[in-house]
Each structure stands twice: as C-alpha cells, then as structure tokens.
A and B are shown apart, each in its own frame.
Chain A
Amino acid sequence: MGEFDFSVWGPSLPFIRDGLLFTLRLTLIAMTGGIVIGTLLALARLSPIVPLARVAGAYVDLMRSIPLVLVILWFFLIIPYLTGKPVGAEVSAIITFTAFEAAFYCEIMRSGIQSVSRGQVHAAHALGLTQAQAMIHVVLPQALRNMLPVLLTQTIVLFQDTSLVYAIGAKDMLKAADVVGKNYNRPVEMIVLSALIYFAICFSLSLAVRQLQKRVAIVR
C-alpha cells in the first residue's frame, strides 16, 4: 500500500461537493418531511380513535424494528411496483428516509406533546379554543420547543445515516469519495477525507444545537 498520498483530495473536491450537496438535500427533505409526517403520526397515536392509533403505532414499531439498510433496499425494490415505473436511486432514497425518519420523529413529538401539562390544555379549552386550535396554538409550539434539541440530535443521526444510500448506489458524498478513491487508487485517503467532512459537519451542528437550546429555552 505504501505511503499515503493526500494530493488526491484536490481533484476530488468537485465530486465530493456534488455528493455532499445531495447528502444535505436528502437530510433536509427527510428532516422536514419526517417532522411533518412524524407529528401527524404522533397525533394519530395519541388520538382517541383506537384503529387510527393502532395503525400509526404499528407503522412506527415496524420502522423501528427493521435495520435502515433493509428498509432502503426494500423501498428501492417496492416503490417501482407501487408507482408502476422505476424511480432513480436518489428519489427512492428521499422517499425512504422521509418515511423511516417519520417513525423516529413521531416518538419524539409524542413525548413532546405529552410533556405539555394538562393545565395548559385546560386553559386553552377554557378560553373556548377547540381541540384542534388548542393543539396548533398551545400544545404543538411548546412540544416543538421542548423537543428541539432532541429533534436536531435526531437530524444529526439522520445526516450520518444517509451514507447508507450507498446500498442502492445513490450518489451521496460517501459514494463520491468511494468512486474517486477507486479511480485514483487511493481509497484510504478518500475515506479519511469523507470521515473528516462528516465529523466537521456533525460536530459543528452539535455545537449549534447547544447554542440554540440556550436561545429558545422557554423561561419558566
């Protein structure tokens, strides 16, 4: 194997950048979609309508019990069946991650909703707000704030997990590093580079979460 040669990093940057852009896009879409769908799932799980709660609960349990790689592979195989036409690895990855992360965001939002006291709900109802208005204006904003650090931490995990799309050949950052590494016969150097980039991004996001936590904390 011989000496390391990090000169390969220079020419690899355009590929890495494209891969990273996809990784970021995937993370952002899956986070936004995951939180929205996850919140709806959480509302369904907490709903007094038993069948609805059961279905949502079953979905969440299913997603949380299967390794992500398998979910990615399964969706890649199943989505063309459902839609009747093949979708690319990238589209498949976006749908999969949104659906998968929704289950995790659901559980976070569920505990967030439950963290808001009964008294708050009573106060909202006593003012004449309907169940839905109380949820939208009083419970969910507090649930989101209470859970913000956990939601963002989950998003950092999501960002790292997106590297698993290599399984279906989507061109994320890790895949780009892999391809360049093979072309230049410098796989180790490229793996080191992508690890450094993952670390730099995740670590600064963690610091940002800590800062944000201080800023948005509700004064009680």
Chain B
Amino acid sequence: MIEIRNVSKWYGPTQVLKGCSTQVAKGEVVVVCGPSGSGKSTLIKCVNGLEPFTEGTITVDGISVGDPKTDLPKLRARVGMVFQHFELFPHMSVRQNLALAQVRVLGRKADEADARGMSLLDRVGLRAHADKFPGQLSGGQQQRVAIARALAMDPICLLFDEPTSALDPEMIGEVLDVMVELAQEGMTMMCVTHEMGFARKVARRVVFMDHGEIVEDAPAGAFFDAPASDRARTFLARILHH
C-alpha cells in the first residue's frame, strides 16, 4: 500500500532523511518511533506529499507521490492524516469540520456528508458534540473528531503523526482506544508514536529512526524483546523505564 524507497531530504545543507526505505502492506499497522529530531514526522509527511523530498520514491497504492504529474489533492483525499495538534478548523463546528472535504473534494451532497459525519461521530462517541466548536472540546475529544474527519473521506490508509503527544495523560487512552479499534478492523495504518503499549498490541512492525535514518525495521515482538541496535536499546530503555 505504502512503499518508501531510498528517500532522502535536505533542508539546505542539513540532511534530515537519509536513504529511508520501508513499506506498509494493506491491512498492516506499522509504528514509527525514535528520539525527537530523528525525522519520523518528516518521513510520514512525505508519504502524502505535505513535505517534499529530495531523492527516492514513495508510492501509495501504486501512485508516485513525488511525481510532479501526480494529482496530489486527489491522492491525499484517499490518505487520511491525523496530526499532533489535531488541526480541526476552529471557525467551523464539529459537524462542518467533518463535512467540508466530503462536500468540496468528494462532491457528496450536504445531507449525505452530514449523515456520514454523524455516524462517525457516533463511532468515536461524540455525537452529542456535533454542534460545538473545536475550542469547546477537550484535547482527547478534538483528536477523536480529527480521526472521524479523516475517516469520513473513506481513506485507503491512515497516517498518524504523534496523535497523543499533545494530550494530557488521562486523555491518551480514549484516543488509543479508537486507534486500536481501527487497527483491529484491518485499517492500514502508519503511526508515528511513542505509545509502546499501542505498538505491542497492534503493530505488526516497528520502524526505529535516529538522525534521519531507519536504524531498525523489525516485527514488533522482536523489536521489543531483542532490539538489534544499541541506539534502539538506549531509546527503549529511556522511554520504558521511568
């Protein structure tokens, strides 16, 4: 579904991605982790072309992201993304947030889009909040709305960029619950996250990044029980033992 081959990226003279290669098969959940500044957020933003990359190729469902001839908006409409800071549109109600792209991008009728949005709000347990504005919701609720907004486009895969990093600890669970459910239903997911509990539970593989390179790309079990590199061992020790 997602194929990343030898992707490198420079910001001026600084190289932020160094020959990254990995893939996410249909129905697979892959967790990307690593210390901050390791390039994991940059890599995931390359997958839907939010960040351009300098070298290499990325294909999503066989479509090349870096190809200038690719209709990026059309491709992105099929790839859902959830952000660290939710990025709901603050000037629109929850309902409108869910409907906007369905109507403008997919060309759905307003009532059809609204019905789809409401059923997804139901699913994330927020139907009662449909007419509120994002600012009136807690962080956890906003992130669940953001997931519903991505799902409303009926995406072929979902990208998560540190979806719980900006949340208070007591709200992390409600967001992870939704993500676990999606994973168990067979959604193809690429998740940048430090939630190792989530990774153990649903990830098939873990990709560990450091200084812009993919240091390890291993089945989740193997990664946690016997990380191959010193860097991954140090990282795991740091985030698991406190």
Contact = CB atoms under 8 A, between A and B. Distances in A.
B135 A141 contact: no
| Size class of the A contact interface (CB-based, 8 Å) | 20 to 34
Given A142-B91, A218-B135, A219-B133, A127 B85 contact: no
Contact of A142 (B45, B76, B90): B90
A125 B100 CA distance: 12
Interface string A100-135: 000000000000000000011011111111100100
Contact of B101 (A122, A129, A220): A129
A215 to B, nearest CB: 13
A126 B81 contact: yes
Contacts of A126: 48, 50, 76, 79-81, 83, 150
A79 interface: no
B135 A133 contact: no
Contact of A133 (B79, B87, B90, B104): B104
A54 interface: no
B77 interface: yes
Interface in B116-156: 133, 135-136, 149-150, 153
B89 A129 contact: no
Contacts of A64: none
Interface residues of B, number: 30
Contact of A129 (B85, B88, B104, B136): B104
Contact of A122 (B50, B136, B149): B50
Contacts of A219: 90, 133, 135-136
B105 interface: yes
A137 interface: yes
A126 B105 CA distance: 11
A128 B87 CA distance: 15
B74 interface: yes
Contacts of B79: 126
A111 to B, nearest CB: 17
Contacts of B173: none
Interface string B83-117: 10101111100000000110011100000000000
B73 interface: yes
B90 A125 contact: no
Contact of A220 (B77, B90, B150, B153): B90
A128 B74 contact: yes
Contacts of B45: 122
Contact of B73 (A120, A123, A129): A129
A124 B76 CA distance: 10
Interface of A: 119-120, 122-130, 133, 137-138, 141-142, 145, 218-220
What 7 A-B pairs have minimum CB-CB distances, sorted nearest first? A128-B77, A219-B135, A123-B87, A127-B101, A126-B81, A128-B105, A119-B87
Given A126-B81, A127-B77, A218-B90, 9 more contacts: A119-B87, A120-B89, A122-B81, A125-B72, A126-B80, A126-B83, A128-B73, A129-B104, A218-B91
